[in-house]
């Protein structure tokens, strides 16, 4: 005979408790609140100006038109030039690619050195980097302009890339240092016993293990550089203005009738890269954070 457990069976919690219902309601309201501007931008970008003048911003377009998107991309006026924002898109790509790859490599190297090798003065260096992360950009703007001008890099593509590398170093170093602190020291010591040197351990052991945090760093860096306005405006130069500066010129152009549908289409085109990045790699971002980006 099987013994009967005298203890009462635990009560099953209701699947939809009042607390859980309240949380879901709050999340739904918050999602609608933040999605509403994007919805308005989308529907407005597909409307004609005659329909926009009716004033119903929440209504779906009666007749969908792609003309505002074509105009925003190829013929919208950005000041005296009417070539759309496609030039700014190319410039942003040329800025974002090196401004993402180089800071990640340098940040990973810094974090690796500060976590495992710990040279003399490493804690002081790390503290200086962290202090630099909290200094406002505007405070360092004029000195950096003078420095880049003296180096012959002001208003050039290498100059704006160098500026993004400098400003990203504190955060990139912090991310990789905290991630590497979660790696067992025994793994590093075993590699040292096997004869691995500084660069060999970094390239063959640490970098292959760093995929989660590299994805986190890439998402943060691409989003930050792509959405930047003030640094691109000051340091990029007239021939390398990023997409955000071109967007500002499109929206603030006061000649003729203000085309709200073109403005909305240009805004969505400008934000398309970071939006796509978050939608595609959002789960990897969460995994990377959970894997050690905020540990230490």
Instruction: Convert the pLDDT of each residue in 102-144 to its tens digit.
Output: 999 999 998 898 888 777 777 787 788 788 778 888 888 888 9
Q: What is the pLDDT of residue 286?
A: 67
The predicted model gives 5-27 an average pLDDT of: 73
Q: What is the pLDDT of residue 10?
A: 59
Cβ atoms 85, 270 nearer than 8 A? yes
Tens of pLDDT, residue by residue over 233-284, are: 999 988 889 999 988 888 886 566 788 899 999 999 998 888 888 888 767 7
Sorted by where each starts, the structural domains of the chain and their CATH numbers stand as 18-65 (no CATH), 88-246+272-293 (1.10.3720.10)
Q: Is the pLDDT of residue 295 over 50?
A: no
Beta bridge partners of 78: 81
Q: Is the pLDDT of residue 196 over 60?
A: yes
Structure tokens at 31: 């999602």
Q: Is the pLDDT of residue 20 over 80?
A: yes
Cβ atoms 270, 54 nearer than 8 A? no
Q: Is the pLDDT of residue 231 over 80?
A: yes
The residues, any chain, with a CB within 8 Å of residue 113's CB and separated by 6 or more, are: 119, 122, 198
Cβ atoms 242, 64 nearer than 8 A? no
Q: How confident is the model at residue 4 (pLDDT cuts 50, 70, 90)?
A: low
The burial class, CB within 10 Å (0-12 / 13-18 / 19+), for 253 is: middle
Q: How confident is the model at residue 163 (pLDDT cuts 50, 70, 90)?
A: very high
Cβ atoms 164, 102 nearer than 8 A? no
- Backbone phi, psi, residue 294, to 5°: -115, 20
Tens of pLDDT, residue by residue over 202-222, are: 888 888 888 888 988 998 899
The predicted model gives 140-162 an average pLDDT of: 91
Q: What is the pLDDT of residue 54?
A: 87
Q: What is the pLDDT of residue 289?
A: 63
Least confident segment among 27-41, 70-84, 198-212? 70-84
Q: What is the pLDDT of residue 294?
A: 45
Tens of pLDDT, residue by residue over 39-57, are: 999 999 999 998 998 888 8
Average pLDDT in the chain: 85
């Amino acid at each position: 005979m099987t013994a009967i457990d005298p203890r009462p069976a635990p009560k099953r919690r209701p699947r939809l408790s009042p607390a859980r219902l309240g949380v879901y309601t709050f999340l739904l309201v918050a999602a609608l609140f933040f999605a509403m501007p994007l919805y308005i931008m989308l529907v407005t970008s597909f409307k004609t100006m005659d329909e926009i003048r009716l004033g119903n911003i929440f209504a779906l377009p009666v007749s969908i038109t792609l003309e505002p998107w074509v105009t925003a991309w190829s013929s919208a006026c950005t000041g005296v030039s009417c070539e759309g924002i496609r030039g700014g898109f190319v410039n942003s790509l040329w800025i974002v690619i090196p401004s993402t790859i180089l800071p990640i490599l340098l940040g990973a190297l810094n974090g690796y050195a500060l976590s495992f090798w710990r040279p003399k003065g490493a804690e002081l260096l790390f503290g200086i980097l962290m202090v630099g992360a909290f200094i406002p950009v505007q405070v360092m703007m004029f000195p950096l302009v003078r420095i880049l001008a003296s180096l012959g890099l002001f208003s050039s593509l290498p100059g704006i890339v160098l500026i993004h590398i400098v400003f990203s170093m504190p955060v990139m170093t912090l991310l990789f240092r905290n991630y590497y602190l979660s790696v067992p020291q025994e793994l590093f010591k075993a590699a040292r016993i096997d004869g691995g040197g500084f660069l060999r351990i970094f390239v063959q052991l640490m970098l292959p293990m760093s995929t989660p945090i590299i994805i986190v760093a890439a998402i943060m860096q691409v989003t930050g550089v792509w959405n930047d306005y003030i640094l691109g405006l000051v340091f990029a130069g007239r021939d390398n203005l990023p997409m955000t500066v071109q967007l500002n010129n499109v929206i603030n152009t006061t000649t003729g009738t203000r085309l709200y549908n073109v403005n909305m289409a240009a805004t969505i085109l400008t934000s398309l890269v970071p939006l796509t990045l978050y939608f595609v790699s959002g789960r990897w971002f969460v995994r990377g954070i959970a894997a050690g980006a905020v540990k230490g």
